[in-house]
Copies of this chain bind each other. A is one copy, B any other.
Amino acid sequence: MPQLGLLHRRAWTYLLGQLLRPPSAVCIGEFHYHSQVAEAVLTSQLKPHQEKSNFIIKTPKGTRDLSPQQMVVREKILSMVVSCFKRHGAKGLDTPAFELKEVLTEKYGEDSRLIYDLKDQGGELLSLRYDLTVPFARYLAMNKVKKMKRYHVGKVWRRESPTIVQGRYREFCQCDFDIAGQFDPMIPDAECLKIMCEILSGLQLGDFVIKVSDRRILDGMFAVCGVPESKYHAVCSSIDKLDKMSWKNVRHEMVEKQGLAPEVADRIGDYVQCHGGMSLVEQMFQDPKLSQNKQALEGLGDLKLLFEYLTLFGIAEKISFDLSLARGLDYYTGVIYEAVLLQTPAPADEEPLHVGSVAAGGRYDGLVGMFDPKGHKVPCVGLSIGVERIFSIVEQRMKTSGEKIRTTETQVFVATPQKNFLQERLRLIAELWDAGIKAELLYKNNPKLLTQLQYCEDTGIPLVVIIGEQELKDGVIKLRSVASREEVAIKREHLVTEIQKRLSES
């Protein structure tokens, strides 16, 4: 029937869809769905010996599976990040993957359009969480918690145009650390920057810099440059693009799209091209215009104190006060920061991996109050590690080095050179498992010895116990080292102890 026209084919598909709908099936209601399934069935019926090419088998756009190799890398990174969070006294917390839709609205500015909503199947309207910060604020308000230092490792979802090459996905893992509570200024903020430094140094990602600014300095800068207050948001978004676009293009956007006067844009341009350390903070204090703005002065005062603490922490040289930093999220109210890798080490024959910011955060003193019925505020500051991007770098580094990753932790393999020894192997391996030893065997009645030893080589299992007729008669087991190929006979009753001794030595 390949000569069937498109319309005919569709009609057929529809009819078949109706006919093939199983009588017991729950009505799922989507014609789109039924027609696809029917199409797959139709195709397979029409071309019985060809592939069912219409059957889609993939992960959703912008998502991926993590293979066992990738899981090993991922877990190494996560365990390093979590141990840093615990070193700083954080407690664990978990929140649901979705929230009531209204919990997420008006928190993310123009990024709100990237939120995944759940279908209205009756009951509450729900959305997948967009970050871990808003759920944390909701938790604090809901439980009337006034003070808390917590970490949270979990997936978040954003409907972004996926550019997989940059390590950006629609589903990705975030590692967050936040300090909630009313404290003396800049002490928790400084600890957040210290944590970012510890993690980025610990993961050996090469040199990095953490850009720091303050929402109040930005607002003050806009005011003294003559930006109308209604345009703060839009101008902020434009400035946020300075890491991807030149100043010339950003200026063009401000003037042409946002209708900013050219001289206003130029005044902004003078500021946003400034970056430096403590001395730039001092310089801005002397700035004839900025020093007249109350908000800017508050921000500068806090930054000065922050730099003092960062110096005591020994990390001031990693931090750059950068007036072009303008984090997009609506909820920040004070200090903001973003860590950028300075150069990704890429071998000569490969494209360098552009990963952009790998960690970011800031102060959000108003967010919890938005959830509190009486508007009670709980000041917060925190950071988020973008493990997905870090993961891309580490993965590429491992590929380049050719390092072989073991995906299992099996310590002992139970083998036999003889037929009809399954019963003995099963008895023996249960003994090892019960002693807490990580052990495997082949799920075959009569595997070949060579196959069994090859399996150990392939998967990196260091020890083999071998049982055969002679061993059974003598009450011994052969213990073989895969690396050296040495074998020794050990009394059956000493086997577990001997294995444990060998494993603790290696």
The residues of A with any CB-CB pair to B shorter than 8 Å are 22, 24-26, 28, 30, 32-33, 36-37, 51-53, 55-61, 63-68, 70-72, 74-75, 86-103, 105-106, 110, 112-113, 116-121, 123-126, 128, 138-139, 141-143, 150, 155, 157, 159, 171, 179, 181, 183-184, 187-188, 190-191, 194, 198, 233-234, 309, 312-314, 371, 373-374, 407-410, 422-423, 426-427, 430, 433-434, 436-440, 443-445
Indicate whether A89 sits within 8 Å of B438 (C-beta atoms), given known contacts A96-B60, A112-B28, A313-B430: yes
Contacting residues, chain B, for A183 (C-beta < 8 A): 443-444
Contacting residues, chain B, for A67 (C-beta < 8 A): 93
Q: Is the CB of A125 within 8 A of B30?
A: yes
Cα(A87)–Cα(B89), bound, Å: 31
Cα(A61)–Cα(B53), bound, Å: 40
Cα(A434)–Cα(B40), bound, Å: 59
Cα(A94)–Cα(B373), bound, Å: 39
Residue of B nearest to A145 (CB): B67
Indicate whether A312 sits within 8 Å of B430 (C-beta atoms), given known contacts A86-B409, A102-B36: yes
Residue of B nearest to A182 (CB): B443
Cα(A474)–Cα(B91), bound, Å: 36
Cα(A22)–Cα(B430), bound, Å: 66
Contacting residues, chain B, for A57 (C-beta < 8 A): 103, 138, 141-142, 371, 373
Contacting residues, chain B, for A119 (C-beta < 8 A): 116-120
Indicate whether A374 sits within 8 Å of B102 (C-beta atoms), given known contacts A184-B443, A439-B87: no
Contacting residues, chain B, for A313 (C-beta < 8 A): 426, 430
Contacting residues, chain B, for A423 (C-beta < 8 A): 312
Residue of B nearest to A308 (CB): B423
Cα(A357)–Cα(B467), bound, Å: 38
Cα(A342)–Cα(B176), bound, Å: 41
Contacting residues, chain B, for A190 (C-beta < 8 A): 426
Q: Is the CB of A59 within 8 A of B89?
A: no
Q: Is the CB of A118 within 8 A of B117?
A: yes
Q: Is the CB of A97 within 8 A of B37?
A: no
Q: Give me the 9 closest cross-chain CB pairs, A-B, nearest first.
A: A183-B443, A68-B91, A71-B92, A63-B96, A66-B94, A89-B440, A117-B119, A187-B443, A312-B426
Candidate in A33, A86, A89, A100 with the most chain B CB atoms within 10 angstroms: A89
Contacting residues, chain B, for A121 (C-beta < 8 A): 116-117, 159
Q: Is the CB of B123 within 8 A of A28?
A: no
Indicate whether A91 sits within 8 Å of B71 (C-beta atoms), given known contacts A56-B100, A60-B96, A181-B443: yes
Contacting residues, chain B, for A157 (C-beta < 8 A): 97
Q: Is the CB of A89 within 8 A of B171?
A: no
Residue of B nearest to A150 (CB): B68
Q: Is the CB of B51 within 8 A of A374?
A: yes
Q: Is the CB of B92 within 8 A of A407?
A: yes
Indicate whether A438 sits within 8 Å of B60 (C-beta atoms), given known contacts A96-B171, A443-B187: no
Q: Is the CB of A32 within 8 A of B439?
A: no
Q: Is the CB of A427 within 8 A of B113?
A: no
Q: Is the CB of B89 within 8 A of A32?
A: no
How far does the Cβ of A74 sit from chain B's closest Cβ, in whole Å? 8
Q: Is the CB of A96 within 8 A of B373?
A: no
Residue of B nearest to A71 (CB): B92
Cα(A96)–Cα(B374), bound, Å: 38
How far does the Cβ of A227 sit from chain B's closest Cβ, in whole Å? 15
Cα(A427)–Cα(B61), bound, Å: 48
How far does the Cβ of A69 sit from chain B's closest Cβ, in whole Å? 9
How far does the Cβ of A57 sit from chain B's closest Cβ, in whole Å? 5
Cα(A179)–Cα(B71), bound, Å: 18
How far does the Cβ of A417 sit from chain B's closest Cβ, in whole Å? 18
Indicate whether A63 sits within 8 Å of B105 (C-beta atoms), given known contacts A117-B118, A183-B444, A422-B187: no
Cα(A63)–Cα(B88), bound, Å: 29
CB<8 Å pairs between A and B, sample of 13: A28-B101, A51-B374, A59-B95, A63-B98, A75-B92, A89-B408, A89-B440, A97-B97, A184-B443, A187-B422, A194-B430, A309-B426, A313-B430
Contacting residues, chain B, for A408 (C-beta < 8 A): 86, 89-91
How far does the Cβ of A203 sit from chain B's closest Cβ, in whole Å? 15
Q: Is the CB of A87 within 8 A of B171?
A: no
Q: Is the CB of B26 within 8 A of A112?
A: yes
Indicate whether A437 sits within 8 Å of B194 (C-beta atoms), given known contacts A58-B100, A92-B72: no
How far does the Cβ of A93 sit from chain B's closest Cβ, in whole Å? 6
Q: Is the CB of B117 within 8 A of A314?
A: no
Q: Is the CB of B87 within 8 A of A438?
A: yes
Cα(A51)–Cα(B407), bound, Å: 55
Cα(A70)–Cα(B150), bound, Å: 13
A443: contacting residue among B72, B171, B179, CB under 8 A: B179
Candidate in A30, A123, A234, A373 with the most chain B CB atoms within 10 angstroms: A373
Indicate whether A373 sits within 8 Å of B51 (C-beta atoms), given known contacts A68-B92, A313-B426, A439-B89: yes
